[in-house]
């Protein structure tokens, strides 16, 4: 006598496991943004934090290419579990990230969302309006530009008939 087969529960379990793997994949960071990072935010960075390995992101304020490298000034924002800036009006201060090479300011335009990984290298001064501020500068290893978020208006027609 053979033991009874239970194909239905196995299929359900397999389907549930596959769904969990897919959902987990959606929440994980892109491969270049994965790793271990210091729990340090730009507004709290100090001289004792120099050399710390961080993952920071936010919205672009300005991009300045020079002959050897490009520097990005950003408004820092909290990052989601996937490494993307959370968006909205939350600010964790400002920071500057610099990387060798040319990054076109037309593509890396103001208000685009970016995430960087790298080491806290120094502090620069910048002028914002009439105020001079101290910005932590990141020597970026990864420069990640997120796709633009598009807002979509959803219109729900609640009439019972299409005519």
Residue 162 pLDDT greater than 70, yes or no? no
pLDDT tens digits along 32-88? 888 888 889 999 998 889 999 999 999 999 999 999 999 999 999 999 989 999 888
Residue 94 pLDDT greater than 50, yes or no? yes
| pLDDT score recorded for residue 20 | 41
Which long-range contacts link 83-88 to residues 24+ away (Cβ below 8 Å)?
Answer: 83/29, 83/30, 83/33, 83/34, 83/55, 83/57, 83/115, 83/144, 84/57, 84/113, 84/115, 84/146, 85/57, 85/58, 85/59, 85/113, 85/114, 85/115, 85/146, 87/113, 87/149
pLDDT tens digits along 112-142? 999 999 999 999 999 989 999 999 999 999 9
The answer to whether residue 14 sits within a structural domain is: no
Which among 89, 87, 90, 57 is positioned nearest to 74, based on CA atoms? 57
CB 87 within 8 A of CB 149: yes
Structural domain of 114? 33-145
Structural domains in the chain (count): 1
The answer to whether residue 6 sits within a structural domain is: no
Give the CATH number for residue 104: 2.40.50.140
The pTM of the full predicted model, rounded to 2 decimals, is 0.73
The answer to whether residue 9 sits within a structural domain is: no
The answer to whether residue 97 sits within a structural domain is: yes
| Mean pLDDT over each residue of the chain, to the nearest integer | 83
The answer to whether residue 23 sits within a structural domain is: no
The answer to whether residue 68 sits within a structural domain is: yes
The answer to whether residue 101 sits within a structural domain is: yes
The answer to whether residue 42 sits within a structural domain is: yes
Which among 73, 81, 85, 65 is positioned nearest to 133, based on CA atoms? 73
| Residue 122, beta-bridge partner list | 137
| pLDDT score recorded for residue 91 | 93
């Amino acid at each position: 006598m053979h033991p009874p087969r239970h194909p239905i529960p196995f299929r359900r379990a397999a389907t549930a496991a596959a769904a969990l793997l897919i959902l987990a994949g959606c929440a994980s960071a892109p491969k270049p943004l994965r790793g271990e990072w210091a729990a340090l935010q730009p507004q709290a960075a100090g001289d004792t934090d120099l050399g710390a390995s961080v993952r920071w992101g936010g919205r672009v304020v300005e991009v300045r290419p020079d002959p050897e490298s490009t520097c990005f000034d950003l408004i820092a924002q909290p990052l989601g579990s996937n490494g993307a800036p959370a968006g909205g009006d939350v600010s964790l201060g400002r920071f500057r990230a610099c990387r060798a090479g040319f990054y076109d300011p037309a593509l890396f335009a103001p208000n685009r969302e970016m995430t960087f990984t790298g080491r806290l290298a120094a502090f620069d001064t910048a002028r914002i309006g009439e105020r001079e501020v101290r910005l932590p500068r990141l020597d970026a290893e990864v420069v990640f530009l997120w796709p633009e978020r598009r807002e979509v208006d959803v219109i729900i027609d609640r009439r019972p008939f299409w005519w």
